[in-house]
Amino acid sequence: MKVAFFDTKPYDVPGFTKYAQDAGIEIKFLETKLNEDTASLANGFDCVCIFVNDVANAAVVEKLYAGGVRMIALRCAGFNNVDTRACFGKIHVFRVPAYSPYAVAEHAMALLLGVNRHIHKAYLRTREFNFSLNGLTGFDLYGKTVGVIGTGKIGRIFADICKGFGMKVLAYDKFPNPASGLEYVELPEIFAKSDVISLHCPLTEETHHLINDEAVEQMKKGVVIINTSRGALIDTDALINGIKVEIIGGACLDVYEEEADLFYEDMSGHIVQDDKLVRLMAMPNVIVTSHQAFLTQEALDNIANTTVSNMRKFASGEPSPETEVCYHCSRKDDCRKERHQKCF
């Protein structure tokens, strides 16, 4: 199997090289992202390996298919950047459903602690020998209510971490998990009662701009919002307005709606053109990290291992129903994998 590996970063190469060599898979590492302009670079390859900000829309899928690609191997969990309907019947799509939910949940808590206790400001102050505490007051997490939206692998671990801090957890999920022991409520109750709201659901048509003006209006004054899931779960205008009118007391953003051309790149020598991001970054109660919640050694190793295993299985014709996705998979009554072990 020959793989075109898009959007390569230095930390991807060692793990993927090791596992691919063991599996007899040939990988060409490309720095460019996958999009309509670059899809032809995959001509003659069997598989493209892509990450969160590569684009596999219908036009890209057509080009990949025409060039001989039969597999898209996502080296991440989310697959909102792939048009799975366009892929159906042509290109099999695989992902890494879990590589370290702990990595993401722990980063969400790190951001919450950072924003709440102003660690980002304190760090800069003490480096300049400014030992003043003015403006650094936070609040105890103990006894506060956290609303967890999406109680899959990451959301449940984040809920457990919050319980460890003595927080009360309210949960919302479209498909509640009765075995989780969580207290499920509807979204308006999450918005009205939570001191902290953390997003852990996938980005779908339904969850796009889940946090919008209407949601913000229902929230408790001072609420801290954490998004380690996907940027477009939050309407950025609503977030900025919510912070300006002081309903939202803090924002912890590992993802951002328009991150695709910025995140993962060194933009320090450029004038960033995204005024909304610049506005957010200028606010003292906002911490932005560059989609790094997944970035632990354990996660990188699991990502490389599972992704190469997906490639090896696909090449040998072995099904991998737990990692293959298609648009039918989200339609529980019509998922063909149940019967055939493969989406088509």
Q: Rule CB under 6 A: which residues touch ligand NAD?
A: 77-78, 98, 101, 104, 149-155, 172-175, 200-202, 204, 206-207, 228-230, 254-255, 291, 293-294
Taking the complex as a whole, the smallest distance from the CB of residue 104 to ligand NAD amounts, in Å, to 5
Taking the complex as a whole, the smallest distance from the CB of residue 216 to ligand NAD amounts, in Å, to 17
**Residue nearest ligand NAD, CB atom distance:** 152
Q: Phi and psi of 206, rounded to 5°?
A: -70, -35
Whole-number Å distance between alpha carbons of 77 and 82 = 12
Tell me the residue type at 132: S
Taking the complex as a whole, the smallest distance from the CB of residue 182 to ligand NAD amounts, in Å, to 11
Residue number with CB closer to ligand NAD (67 or 202): 202
Residue number with CB closer to ligand NAD (159 or 293): 293
Whole-number Å distance between alpha carbons of 183 and 190 = 11
Residue environment code for 162-183, b if the CB has 16+ CB neighbours within 10 A, otherwise e: beeeebebbbbbeeeeeebebe
Half-sphere exposure (CA, 13 Å, Cβ side) for 187?
15
Residue number with CB closer to ligand NAD (91 or 190): 190
Task: List residues with catalytic annotation.
Answer: 230, 259, 291
Helices (H), 165-317: 187-193, 213-217, 236-244, 275-281, 297-316
Taking the complex as a whole, the smallest distance from the CB of residue 157 to ligand NAD amounts, in Å, to 8
Residue number with CB closer to ligand NAD (42 or 104): 104
Taking the complex as a whole, the smallest distance from the CB of residue 176 to ligand NAD amounts, in Å, to 8
Q: How far is CA 107 from the centre of its chain?
A: 12
Q: Are 315 and 1 in contact (CB under 8 A)?
A: yes
Residue number with CB closer to ligand NAD (64 or 299): 299
Q: Are 72 and 82 in contact (CB under 8 A)?
A: yes
